[in-house]
Amino acid sequence: MSDETPRSFGFETRAIHAGAAPDPATGARATPIYQTSSYVFEDVDEAAALFNLQKVGFIYSRLTNPTVSVLEERIANLEGGAGATCTASGHSAQILALFPLMRPGDEFIAARKLYGGSLNQFANSFPRAFGWNCVFVDGDDPENFRRAVTPKTRAIFIESLANPGGVVSDIAAIAKVADEAGVPLIVDNTMATPYLCRPIEHGATLVVHSTTKFLTGHGTSVGGVVVDSGKFDWRRDGRFPALSEPEPGYHGLRFADTFGHLAFTIYGHAIGLRDLGPAMAPMNAFLGILGTETLALRMERHCTNAQKVAEFLSTHPAVAWVNYAGLEDSPYNALARRYLPKGAGAVFTFGVKGGYDAGVRVVESVELFSHLANIGDTRSLIIHPASTTHRQLTEEGQAAAGAGPDVVRLSIGLESVEDIIADLDRALTASQEG
């Protein structure tokens, strides 16, 4: 886990070089896809040292893989973290982030405005399967997190820029609440990416991503990552015994004592991936590496395109409202200027006049946009949540989740912005002709 790319280099330089080097065996300049499940030991002593975590190396690709390691080092570097653990999906990154912190009966506090899949995972599956109880609060007021803290609280979870968009968290204020409560702040930075926002610089302990979205960036593969800042003292009051107490699976080794600022990351591989199993495939890591190399260029264009589309929509006669933090009249504009100075991301919602039927007509009338359930592709994407992702909810439930009948969500891609706008203009006009 050495990282020889100086962190004093600029973001674009680190996005291309961090974690990677010419292949020592062949000189290959691009990172090879190490498509192997396992690695030959030099001898029994080396094998023993690897299994005892006394030597860094490769045993089996469920734990570590050379291609995946490059992506881990790169994202850790870009986020300003000590280390990272890649996972099979964003959802498994969330499990791996909480796994060392929580025991059955423990609680974590989460903002109520989150990616819909995270709401299901936290509200239903975590308590049923693991006994991890999530307390949801309105994240707009940081004091709401403080009021929800109990002796069982083990973490606070927020999204920097919340999916489906337009909502920006006051990361520094919430980090202060977490610090005073003695628990880590976990920030899902999927929608912003480290190009737009680096939560660790604002006090976050852990950062999680769905690399499926902008990081990999071309709509090709599902993946996730957990980045640890390396700054939390897991021994401070005995609340995190998995990291501070002897681990029976490794002859009584104490991760926090033995590995210091890398304890969380090594635990993530040696226990988290070993026992839960959601390893990232080497091919997906390779695509993630390619994605990070153009992240700065892509995010810049995603944001300028999104800003122009949001401005266009906010003057369109068929549009009732636009929720984009880059618009000056957005209630989150001040937070966006502080936390996302390079742009407010490329995913947002708007309301079409005419309600449910007009929303359906918009998604059925677009030609350039793809009607599907994803974000962060090079292609522009559109979805009508009330008829798809949120259709099981009542109308009141849909409205509370920001997915009322008139809501349309966009993920603005990298096509010519004139073409994106013309496609929406045509579809909006058609939506009013029902």
Ligand X SMILES: *Cc1c(COP(=O)(O)O)cnc(C)c1O
Question: Which residues lie near ligand X (CB under 6 A)?
Answer: 89-91, 115, 117-118, 159, 163, 188, 190-191, 210, 212-213, 222, 224, 375
Long-range contacts, 330-333 (Cβ 8 Å, 24+): 330/166, 332/166, 332/167, 332/168
Nearer to ligand X, 174 or 375 (CB): 375
Cis amide leading into 164 (omega within 30): yes
Nearer to ligand X, 187 or 319 (CB): 187
Nearer to ligand X, 70 or 96 (CB): 96
Nearer to ligand X, 164 or 354 (CB): 164
State the minimum distance, in angstroms, from the CB of residue 315 to ligand X: 28
Nearer to ligand X, 183 or 222 (CB): 222
Q: Are the CB atoms for 356 and 390 separated by under 8 Å?
A: no
State the minimum distance, in angstroms, from the CB of residue 212 to ligand X: 4
| Dihedral sign, Cα of residue 42, residue 87, residue 226, residue 250 | negative
Nearer to ligand X, 224 or 402 (CB): 224
Q: At 428, phi and psi to the nearest 5?
A: -70, -40
Q: Are the CB atoms for 262 and 373 separated by under 8 Å?
A: no
State the minimum distance, in angstroms, from the CB of residue 387 to ligand X: 19
Q: Are the CB atoms for 139 and 332 separated by under 8 Å?
A: no
| Dihedral sign, Cα of residue 141, residue 147, residue 151, residue 152 | negative
State the minimum distance, in angstroms, from the CB of residue 111 to ligand X: 11
Q: Point out the residue whose Cβ comes nearest to ligand X.
A: 90
State the minimum distance, in angstroms, from the CB of residue 118 to ligand X: 5
**What is the full DSSP assignment across 136-203?**
EE-TTSTHHHHHH--TTEEEEEEESEETTTTEE--HHHHHHHHHHHT--EEEE-TTTHHHH--GGGGT
Amino acid (1-letter code) at residue 205:
T
State the minimum distance, in angstroms, from the CB of residue 322 to ligand X: 20
State the minimum distance, in angstroms, from the CB of residue 239 to ligand X: 26
Query: How would you label 139-155 residue by residue, b for 16+ Cβ within 10 Å and e otherwise?
Result: bbebebbbebbeeebbb
Nearer to ligand X, 117 or 127 (CB): 117
Distances (CA, A) of 407 to 210, 235, 282, 304, 412: 23, 46, 38, 22, 16
Element (H, E) at 227: strand 224-228
Nearer to ligand X, 169 or 190 (CB): 190
State the minimum distance, in angstroms, from the CB of residue 16 to ligand X: 24
Nearer to ligand X, 119 or 430 (CB): 119
State the minimum distance, in angstroms, from the CB of residue 163 to ligand X: 4
- CA gap 185, 204 in Å, rounded: 5
